[in-house]
Structure 1
Amino acid sequence: MAGEREHIREIEQVLSGARSARDDIVVQSWLRCIDTHRLDPARPTEAYIVPDTQLREHREQSERLIAIARSGLETLFKQVAGQNYVLLLADAKGVTVDFLGDPLFMDQLRKAGLYLGSEWSESRTGTCGVGSCIVTGEAMTIHQTDHFDTTHTPLSCTAAPIFDTKGELTAVLDISLLRSPQPKVSQNLALHLVTASARRIELANLMAQMHSEWVLRFSRSPEFLDVDPEAAIALDASGRILGTTRGAALLLAQAGGIDWRLSPSPIGQPISRFLDMDVDDLPNLTRGRPTEERLVFGRNGSALFAHAIEPQPTSGRRAPVEVLPGPIAELSGGDPAMTAVQMRAAKLARTAIPILIHGETGSGKEVLARAIHDSSGRAGPFVAINCAAIPEHLIESELFGHAAGAFTGATAKGRKGLIESADGGTLFLDEIGDMPYALQSRLLRVIAERELVPVGGIAPRPVDIKIISASHHDLRQLVAEGRFREDLFYRLNAAPLTLPPLRERTDFEWLLERLVGERARLAGRPAKLSAAARLALIRHDWPGNIRELVNAVDLAVALCEDETIQPSDLPDFGASRAAPPAPSASLVALRAPSLEEERGALLAVLAATGWNISEAARRLGVDRTTVHRRMKRLRLEAPN
């Protein structure tokens, strides 16, 4: 308490104009907390975790960046392994959309706000690494009592901004400690590492978005030009700048003899405005020449080493899928939300981190879990348990097994349970939200200690299992209602994956064709869709998701004549559920495999609604975030 009073007194002295030994960036943030955000240092506020639905919206909007940044996060996490750091990737609003931390400390991390879904905006939390970085656009360390709110003074947080190709701050990469007895200078290495990781993420993002344009990468040293450049820009065929990393914008301003703080954005300007070169010089800067000879000169006379990368031809295949393990790569046909899930699942497959899959009933949670197991390299079996399907009075002995004579009717030799049967492999706990509360503490011990005790047994048995769980329930809500253990939730939710419902997937026709082919082969008879049947299937909103689609295809394959599925062969969708208004023909085209057709269809709907996103989403039968995501992917912008 004395420490809190001293901290509050120091903030009050700064407010009154007294000199402070704190970094100026901290002092200015404290002043904003009082003058702009109207925060009170005497009223500490606990860390805030946004609701799951809101978190999903933030993650959807950041899905491309999450997929690109994940490799950088994992590399950084390995660099600081064993030092108790946790990594956060927050969006421009301060909400954590991805994180890496030690599963053993999940309870403490969540309480401290170093967790998925935590909001670290300066207006809510006060001076902090993420929030203050968003406001200033500068990398920084906010160490212990640098924090405005006394709730967070045990933490040491080091953050660096991530800018998009247009120069807008799009995310913050933060590396934090729950507590650090060391002085602030001890975090200088962390500041260097997180800044370098943010730079590499910006480079990867520019390369991914601008692969069909000329890219020019820079370094002050020829040795690092090809392996770890400092900055990069993208150029069109006329030599005008299409995009930059943050470092490149600063380099260009310096090379052009311009004060970068007063410089307009270089986007749209010719490269010759800043460097003594034009687009015709780019071929001379490719790998065909020795690195030390690839020099460019700024208008101010400065010299930089440069590496030009030619535009890459557009391919119908998606690069991310080509590097995914086969079982995971086969889960989608290019839907952006599914691609983000696949990329994350592939990264997690060979780790021991527990995975929690969210998704509506029938959306393919077990299929995803099995694909992760098949990509994990684990030699043991995949054991799936539906926690809602086993009678409550049997579930304990089914899961944990029993010792000899443990209860009336028990076998004389005892019996191995399903958990132990998964030893060396993967245990998939489907509908984990329906597990009886009394058994949840026993499962928690299995996850934490990697051992179990059979019913009626005494000696624990070690088990080596990868835990994947799934639920269509909102487990946070079940925790709030006292129906699910909070500590178990944090153990299971170490790495969440969210499957999109079938009605929101843009690869519906790919999935439909694949299912028709597979189910026809299983039935031992050829089958194909008529145009009318295809249209009827596309127009249905699929409340039962992929499971309902599989059943519909199985029925159609069984009933069709002359190898062609007609509408009369399909289920009577209206008999089981009142059908919503039929989507327009534009929605059908939106799900076509051709990007040109999809772009034209979406453009037609947007034009018909006067570019009203809400109305367009209503007509298409999707949510607003899906429309925004498609517009971004198809490069559609509203007219001025």
Structure 2
Amino acid sequence: MSSLPLAEVRRRFFDGGDVPENSVPQPILHSWRRCLGLGLPAGRLRQPERLDPNTLQQRQQASADWLQLAKPAIDALFDSVVDDGHVVIVADADGVILNQMGHPAFLDRAERVALLPGMDWREDVRGTNAIGTALVTGNAVRVRGSEHYLERNRQLSCTASTILDPQGRLLGALDVSGLPRKLGEAQQLQVMTAVRHIEQRLFDEHSRSLHELRFAPDPATLATPRCARLAFDDDGVLRAANRAALAALGLDWHCLGQTRFAGLSGLSLEHWLSRHGSGIASLRHGGRLYSASLLPPRLPSLSERPSLLHSEPAARAARRPASAPHAENSHDKVGRKQDLALPAGMLDTARRLLEADIPVLVLGETGAGKERFVQALHAASSRAAAPLVAVNCAAIPEGLIESELFGYEEGAFTGARRQGARGRLREADGGVLFLDEIGDMPMSLQARLLRVLQERLVVPLGGGGGQKVDIRIVAATHRDLGDEVAAGRFRADLYYRLCHYPLTLPPLRERGDVAQIAANLLLQHGSAGRGITLSPALADFIRRYPWPGNLRQLDNLLRTLLALVDDDTVLTPDHLPATLRAAQPAQRQTANTLHSLLQQHGGNASAAARALGISRSTFYRRLRDG
């Protein structure tokens, strides 16, 4: 880079003189030339008008789907840069700012240069800037101080990257802006990382009914956002990709709909699956060798799938690729009820209460699946398409839970975000609010919640007009609220407002065949596509173990086992951690039982031993001693 001061470079550029090579980054110089070619003045510029609130809201709604998927990554980016005095900005594909949040110390400066929702930051309107220039070039861009085309923007530094969907369509841009001396390469990397996470979620959402090929030089990165990802339909035609995959293969977005799986791998989809399944295999392309894994489409609903309790026909069926479109949605709605093994009529009772605008109170031991029950209830209700907003009253610090629930107005307290925050109650308008662990709600907040239940009016912290809300309330707790009332830790009036018809979720050990619940959970976690099943011995252990941690303990165990075993594994008690094996209930097989099992397997002692999860020598010893 040239040592010539940037001010001198600008003077020469705008005077029509020669600009030394490498005096400014090439993307900046190219942008300056584009802006100059458009006749854009670098000095005083008429301030573009800000969109009116209704038009801005329409733009936000048009991007609502991808913004919702992007929210966790955007929030994480904000948390990582706010203490350095920066702002995070999200713009749509036209360069209009949709959302902005940041450090109060910088927000006033951002407002002076119109870094506000509803303002247009296209390059042909604002000159060289990270948002507009990234949208023009399609690349990540950093613009520092006087590298901005407009004089008035010299007090800013900004870095932005475009956000693409898996078909290469431009959705918008993510930007971090701040003071020139504080914003550098670290923030650019943070923005690019956030965009990778957003695009990974978009890929997951768009390709759920497709076969996904992941590949990377290092197999350890196959489960990370950095890996290359392609998605193919049942005919082996490429339908979706991420940037890493296209870069690795030397392709562009025009390859979608044109490229076939066999052209990349040398094998058809069926041949690859029969040879490698979803295990890790080698993929050679362009002289480079990658580790690759082909994952099947998301699973169809439980009613369309075989049991995972091990049998040869079931195991063969489980390994067939599933291709039902939108499979995860159907499983979410149909499968959760089966996964829970609910008492007869419990879900329907809860649904009737909810539809009648009667608060639903769910009681149960820790880990019994109260959150899953509420998700199933929401999916079964007439409000399934509206928000389900969950608040864990035990997980939010007491000093923050009021602002979390009710929201706040601008300037309500030190550190409050500009434009305030809506709060969970207003976010749930039109839908369902789930107050988990309500027995842990602070007494000071219980009175305000009671008023909301009675008046359906939410008044945020810091004053301002109240807002009417249309919400249905579901609450859950592992505590005995009657005892909490008697001890003075829970308001009696709120208790009676919630406790119209409490529903008790039984512990896992009281829900019938726990092994079948385990089989359903395995399906939910993708075991069918990997050919992983339960042996009768492990199924029997699952039925007899008391499960003090309830559904959560069982689910965590199964997820762990799936992570540790290879494809086509029959899970046995030997796969259990030592702590559980030590707690394994005693089991004695009589000689008659063993002979019967031997007969079932056509006299094959090895097969009978595998069914019990023991070695063949142990099987013979028990047969002899029985």
TM (norm. structure 2) is: 0.51
Give the CA deviation at 1:106. 4.2
Q: After the TM superposition, which residues 190-229 of structure 1 pair with which residues of structure 2 at under 5 Å, given as runs? A: 190-229=187-226
Which of 294, 309, 332 is the equivalent residue of 1:308?
Answer: 294
Give the CA deviation at 1:107. 4.0
**8 Å Cα contact 1:95/1:121 also seen in 2:** yes
Within the alignment, does 1:39 sit opposite 2:40 as a pair?
yes
- Aligned residue number for residue 273 of structure 1: 263
Counterpart of 1:152, as a letter, is: N
Q: After the TM superposition, which residues 104-253 of structure 1 pair with which residues of structure 2 at under 5 Å, given as runs? A: 106-177=107-178, 179-181=179-181, 187-253=184-250
Within the alignment, does 1:296 sit opposite 2:283 as a pair?
yes
Provide the secondary structure at the position in 2 that maps to 1:308: strand
Q: Provide the C-alpha distance between the structure 2 equivalents of 1:192 and 1:83, rounded to a whole number of angstroms.
A: 15
Q: Provide the C-alpha distance between the structure 2 equivalents of 1:40 and 1:114, rounded to a whole number of angstroms.
A: 19
Give the CA deviation at 1:201. 1.2
**8 Å Cα contact 1:233/1:243 also seen in 2:** yes
Give the CA deviation at 1:288. 5.6
**8 Å Cα contact 1:216/1:232 also seen in 2:** yes
Deviations 1:333-384 (A, max 9, x none): 5676x44x959999999695745799xxxxx959639976946975232666
**8 Å Cα contact 2:13/2:19 also seen in 1:** no
Q: Provide the C-alpha distance between the structure 2 equivalents of 1:345 and 1:127, rounded to a whole number of angstroms.
A: 44
Structure 1 residue ranges without an equivalent (≥5): 255-259, 359-363, 386-417, 433-445, 448-466, 473-497, 501-521, 523-640
Distance 1:285 1:215, change over 3 A: farther
Distance 1:80 1:499, change over 3 A: farther
- Aligned residue number for residue 402 of structure 1: none
Give the CA deviation at 1:79. 3.1
Q: Provide the C-alpha distance between the structure 2 equivalents of 1:35 and 1:67, rounded to a whole number of angstroms.
A: 38
- Aligned residue number for residue 31 of structure 2: 29
**8 Å Cα contact 2:216/2:291 also seen in 1:** yes
Q: Provide the C-alpha distance between the structure 2 equivalents of 1:109 and 1:330, rounded to a whole number of angstroms.
A: 41
Q: Provide the C-alpha distance between the structure 2 equivalents of 1:366 and 1:190, rounded to a whole number of angstroms.
A: 30
Counterpart of 1:126, as a letter, is: G
**8 Å Cα contact 2:237/2:259 also seen in 1:** yes
Give the CA deviation at 1:71. 0.9
Q: Provide the C-alpha distance between the structure 2 equivalents of 1:61 and 1:344, rounded to a whole number of angstroms.
A: 27
Q: Provide the C-alpha distance between the structure 2 equivalents of 1:77 and 1:330, rounded to a whole number of angstroms.
A: 30
Give the CA deviation at 1:116. 3.2
**8 Å Cα contact 1:165/1:244 also seen in 2:** yes
Q: Provide the C-alpha distance between the structure 2 equivalents of 1:137 and 1:118, rounded to a whole number of angstroms.
A: 20
- Aligned residue number for residue 75 of structure 1: 76
Counterpart of 2:268, as a letter, is: D
Give the CA deviation at 1:145. 0.9
Counterpart of 1:224, as a letter, is: T
Distance 1:154 1:122, change over 3 A: same
Q: After the TM superposition, which residues 552-591 of structure 1 pair with which residues of structure 2 at under 5 Å, given as runs? A: none
- Aligned residue number for residue 611 of structure 1: none
Provide the secondary structure at the position in 1 that maps to 2:90: strand
**8 Å Cα contact 1:345/1:372 also seen in 2:** no
Distance 1:249 1:343, change over 3 A: farther
Q: After the TM superposition, which residues 381-460 of structure 1 pair with which residues of structure 2 at under 5 Å, given as runs? A: 381=445, 430=458, 447=462
Counterpart of 1:368, as a letter, is: D
Greater shift, 203-212 or 75-84, is seen at 75-84
Provide the secondary structure at the position in 2 that maps to 1:158: strand
Provide the secondary structure at the position in 1 that maps to 2:184: helix
- Aligned residue number for residue 19 of structure 1: 20
Counterpart of 1:188, as a letter, is: E
Q: How many residues get paired?
A: 381
Deviations 1:263-292 (A, max 9, x none): 843334212333434312553798963xxx
**8 Å Cα contact 2:139/2:161 also seen in 1:** yes
Which of 403, 406, 429 is the equivalent residue of 1:368?
Answer: 429
- Aligned residue number for residue 504 of structure 1: none
Structure 2 residue ranges without an equivalent (≥5): 301-326, 337-370, 411-418, 420-424, 472-499, 501-626
Provide the secondary structure at the position in 2 that maps to 1:189: helix
Q: Provide the C-alpha distance between the structure 1 equivalents of 2:137 and 2:190, rounded to a whole number of angstroms.
A: 19
**8 Å Cα contact 1:239/1:278 also seen in 2:** yes
- Aligned residue number for residue 92 of structure 2: 91
**8 Å Cα contact 1:45/1:149 also seen in 2:** no
Within the alignment, does 1:102 sit opposite 2:98 as a pair?
no
Sequence identity (%): 19
**8 Å Cα contact 1:199/1:230 also seen in 2:** no
- Aligned residue number for residue 552 of structure 2: none
Distance 1:371 1:24, change over 3 A: same
Q: Provide the C-alpha distance between the structure 1 equivalents of 2:276 and 2:55, rounded to a whole number of angstroms.
A: 45
Distance 1:149 1:235, change over 3 A: same
Give the CA deviation at 1:217. 2.2
**8 Å Cα contact 1:160/1:174 also seen in 2:** yes
**8 Å Cα contact 2:129/2:158 also seen in 1:** yes
**8 Å Cα contact 2:383/2:431 also seen in 1:** no
Counterpart of 1:96, as a letter, is: I
Distance 1:190 1:106, change over 3 A: closer
Deviations 1:363-409 (A, max 9, x none): x9596399769469752326669xxxxxxxxxxxxxxxxxxxxxxxx
Give the CA deviation at 1:166. 1.5
Give the CA deviation at 1:122. 1.0
Instruction: Point out the structure with max Rg over C-alpha.
Output: 2
Distance 1:31 1:499, change over 3 A: farther
Q: Provide the C-alpha distance between the structure 1 equivalents of 2:249 and 2:467, rounded to a whole number of angstroms.
A: 50
**8 Å Cα contact 1:87/1:175 also seen in 2:** yes
Provide the secondary structure at the position in 2 that maps to 1:170: strand
Q: Provide the C-alpha distance between the structure 1 equivalents of 2:201 and 2:466, rounded to a whole number of angstroms.
A: 32
Q: Provide the C-alpha distance between the structure 1 equivalents of 2:373 and 2:49, rounded to a whole number of angstroms.
A: 36
Greater shift, 368-377 or 61-70, is seen at 368-377
Deviations 1:518-544 (A, max 9, x none): xxxx9xxxxxxxxxxxxxxxxxxxxxx
Q: Provide the C-alpha distance between the structure 1 equivalents of 2:126 and 2:186, rounded to a whole number of angstroms.
A: 25
